[in-house]
Amino acid sequence: MSTLKIAVQKSGRLSEDSLSLLKGCNINLPKGKNKLIAPSTNFPAEVLYLRDDDIPQYVEDGIADIGILGLNVVKEKKHDVQIDKYLGFSRCRLSLAVPRNIEYQGISFFDGKKIATSYPKLTNEYLKKNGVQAEIHEISGSVEIAPGIGLADGICDLVSTGGTLMSNGLKEVDVILKSEAVLISNPKLSPDKQALLNKVLFRVESSLKANHYKYILLNAPNEKVKTIVDILPGMKSPTVLPLAEAGWSSIHSVVKEDDFWNVIDQLKSYGAQGILVVPIEKMIL
């Protein structure tokens, strides 16, 4: 019987969401992350707690079978791994930034300039693609202070809120890569391990889908049921049940989170009452 070895970040921005993703897939783990490897208590899997930068190498070498990490690291490291799923958390972008007072008029600004970054490969590729020749200065942390201390003219770093750039007197001028957490795998898994991975991917998809939908229950006068059903798509079509009180029905359906407030406003205007909105844990279509 095979065991699927899953690499996750030991501690950092990805850790909590990676572990809750596994929990949502009903892959239970013993509490505490003091060990490097922890076997799941209810699924043929073992979790390896690693630095995110090491995950692609471990997956390529087959020490881990799959891994969860930022697309930015996968793209920078260029190991032979397969991206199986975009996971939607830890979203950020890899961007070029320059001091706020620079009148930036396009990527050619960087011609003959120095750029500090922890992402030399992605930065180089982007500059090359745009016909720009710049000197890359690789540093592993605190990239954003480089222009202020005279180390570089600009930087290429991860941005999420933009707060760090702002507090260092920098402005974002070009996005090189949009990133989020992804699930990667070794492209040469044995059939047994591939079957386990397929199981995990199916569960991940069910959880991710569920996050985008809400279950909605409401009461409506019978004469409005048709109108309301028309605006509530549901999985097949909404469920309509008679209420104990004559002339009223209960309607149950599934609504996309993006459409949610629009739908609620319409429902209220059609006389819906007692609207309940419930999160969905899994969605299997």
- CB within 8 A of 158, min separation 6: which ones? 72, 92, 93, 94, 95, 179
Please identify, using beta-carbon distances, which residue of 139 and 217 lies nearer to ligand PRT: 139
Work out whether 92 is an interface residue with ligand PRT (CB under 6 A): yes
Q: Amino acid identity, residue 106?
A: G
Give me the residue label for tokens 């507090």.
167
What part of residues 112-171 is at the interface with ligand PRT (CB under 6 A)? 157-164
Do residues 220 and 239 make contact, with C-beta atoms less than 8 angstroms apart?
no
Work out whether 53 is an interface residue with Zn ion (CB under 5 A): yes
Q: Which of 40, 168, 179, 186 binds ligand PRT (CB under 6 A)?
A: 179
Angle at 145 between CA 141 and CA 151, to 5 degrees: 95
Work out whether 139 is an interface residue with Zn ion (CB under 5 A): no
Shortest CB 236 distance to ligand PRT, Å: 38
Cα distance between residue 15 and residue 22, in whole Å = 11
Work out whether 70 is an interface residue with ligand PRT (CB under 6 A): yes
DSSP 8-state code for residue 236: S
Work out whether 94 is an interface residue with ligand PRT (CB under 6 A): no
Shortest CB 13 distance to Zn ion, Å: 9
- The residue sitting closest to ligand PRT, measured at its beta carbon, is 70
Shortest CB 180 distance to Zn ion, Å: 16
Cα distance between residue 258 and residue 95, in whole Å = 28
Which partner, Zn ion, ligand PRT, none, binds residue 123 by CB below 5 to 8 Å per kind? Answer: none
Which run of H or of E encompasses 99?
strand 92-99
**How far is the first Cα of the chain from the last one, in angstroms, to the nearest whole number?**
29
Q: Which of 18, 40, 72, 123 binds ligand PRT (CB under 6 A)?
A: 72
Please identify, using beta-carbon distances, which residue of 73 and 272 lies nearer to ligand PRT: 73
Work out whether 77 is an interface residue with Zn ion (CB under 5 A): no
Do residues 165 and 144 make contact, with C-beta atoms less than 8 angstroms apart?
yes
| Stretch touching Zn ion by CB under 5 A, among 44-52, 96-104, 203-211, 247-255 | 44-52
Shortest CB 73 distance to Zn ion, Å: 7
- CB within 8 A of 146, min separation 6: which ones? 116, 137, 139, 152, 155
Residues of the shown chain interacting with ligand PRT in the complex, contacts defined by CB under 6 A? 9, 12-14, 51-53, 70, 72-73, 90, 92, 157-164, 179
